Copies of this chain bind each other. A is one copy, B any other.
């Protein structure tokens, strides 16, 4: 059995706008909670997602290159590679397939990564990776039933139940962005469905929700000026009364999403990441909480403290566990 203290873990986190890679080291084994502070980041890299390739292999190549680069910079051979990625994943977690927030129908992962790196490769949905991080190293330590919810370009959640990661078939459980939250606006979602949370409250969905809302309530608003989720949030923080009214309606939507998350997984804690939520806590989370159902006991709802790194580190930790597990006893 390998000396875990000196293990090098390489990871990449593939999101709709950026790819991050990093090398981590430290004793990741033992009982969780005993050795939290021992995982250490050696080197990090962040690039915009390659969006102009001929097909999804352009992203595959970007990911391979970015992992190699950080390993070179760290001067290491990785003992394990962990991937965190926006979903959904194909059968066998071979590739990202038909992701509503990706510019390619298919992005191969498993084959090319295993062909390149002579070590175990593990692939997780990014929200699962985030949940894994929060449960073992972050805000959720000691909690056996938690959800990591990310409100970013898209919306997704990772789930720990009874201490186990809930992955579903092909790692695609937790697609909270595709929970039904509204049937009046009935907004189209990137996935082809309608009324999904992501179509209203994510970074990519918020502008279309605002435009639709203006078609009902915003007679004096020039919809040409809608802009981005960032500018909408900024205008609300500046006290614009139309935006204040809009974010009240968004809070109702987010309340419905949170309520379904709670009904689905009965978590003791929800840890929320993603810049839409973490950069606008009063606007998004504080208001949404007011509109969540009180059917099951309301869990703690807190912001992630990982500054966007939860999925990347979670993928690294998970990859390290896999190495151990392949030689020791199962712990996940």
Contact = CB atoms under 8 A, between A and B. Distances in A.
Interface stretch (A113-121, A129-137, A164-172): A164-172
A175 B216 contact: no
Contacts of A255: 219
A135 to B, nearest CB: 14
Interface in A144-181: 145, 159, 161-162, 164-181
Interface stretch (A48-56, A186-194, A312-320): A186-194
Contact of A172 (B167, B184, B194, B296): B296
A41 B6 CA distance: 56
A47 to B, nearest CB: 28
B168 A267 contact: yes
Interface in A249-269: 249, 252, 255-256, 259-260, 263-268
A217 B248 contact: yes
Given A164-B164, A245-B248, A296 B88 contact: yes
Interface size class of A (residues with CB under 8 A): 35 or more
Contacts of A193: 259, 293, 295
Contacts of A159: 166
A172 B296 CA distance: 8
B172 A266 contact: yes
Contacts of A220: 290
A179 B180 contact: yes
Nearest to A293: B193
A330 to B, nearest CB: 9
B217 A170 contact: no
B186 A216 contact: yes
A183 interface: yes
A230 interface: no
Interface of A: 88, 91, 100, 145, 159, 161-162, 164-184, 186, 188, 191-195, 215-217, 219-220, 245, 248-249, 252, 255-256, 259-260, 263-268, 290-291, 293-297, 299
